Chain A
Amino acid sequence: AQTVTQSQPEMSVQEAETVTLSCTYDTSESNYYLFWYKQPPSRQMILVIRQEAYKQQNATENRFSVNFQKAAKSFSLKISDSQLGDTAMYFCAFMNGGGSEKLVFGKGTKLTVNP
């Protein structure tokens, strides 16, 4: 069974600085997808970024980028120019490419951006 580990339960960063959230996963599959979801206090789950395992290039969405190391099974999220609105829980998630579309989540990292 796949597992996802987020080793940082809580992190904080100053506004405008850069922060990196860690995620590692365990799988024997070669075809899969990785995601970062953001959950603000409103509770809504919001997709931040998506990475397909067969793509070598790291995904980027505006201030958010990932460092995908397939051999090391590592998928970290970098947030540049942190903003107060980035304060949220961040979940790393794994999905097998086999067609069931089931997500396996890490336990989350609570990020606080300080003014």
Chain B
Amino acid sequence: NAGVTQTPKFQVLKTGQSMTLQCAQDMNHEYMSWYRQDPGMGLRLIHYSVGAGITDQGEVPNGYNVSRSTTEDFPLRLLSAAPSQTSVYFCASTRQGHEQYFGPGTRLTVT
């Protein structure tokens, strides 16, 4: 099992550009989430999904879109990048009542 994979590992964007962060898991987990990590802030939930076709907002959803067309994939879209979105992004998956498995993270810089 590859577990949770994320691409790319690093990305630099200019203000106003759009991009998609990819996340995939091969553990057949129904729950998937996106978090962002900023210095001194811990991890904060952006969006989450409880199954294919079902998504909901987390604590900091503004400026991000998600969709979940398959169990395996949960992409995160930045519609118009802003410097405030400079962060490290983590995707995670889990089964109900169990620990979350995290991907390796994507470091995004918006200039």
Contact = CB atoms under 8 A, between A and B. Distances in A.
Interface stretch (B14-22, B35-43, B64-72, B74-82): B35-43
A94 B97 CA distance: 12
Interface of A: 4, 9, 33, 35, 43-45, 47, 50, 91, 97, 99-108
Interface residues of B, number: 24
Contact of A102 (B40, B41, B58, B88): B58
Nearest to B42: A105
A44 B48 contact: no
B102 A45 contact: yes
A99 B96 contact: yes
Interface of B: 31, 33, 35, 40-45, 48, 50, 56, 58, 88, 90, 92, 94, 96-97, 99-100, 102, 104-105
B77 to A, nearest CB: 20
A104 B44 CA distance: 7
A35 B102 CA distance: 14
Nearest to B45: A102
Nearest to A108: B42
B88 A43 contact: yes
Nearest to B4: A45
A103 B43 contact: yes
A33 B99 CA distance: 9
A4 B45 CA distance: 14
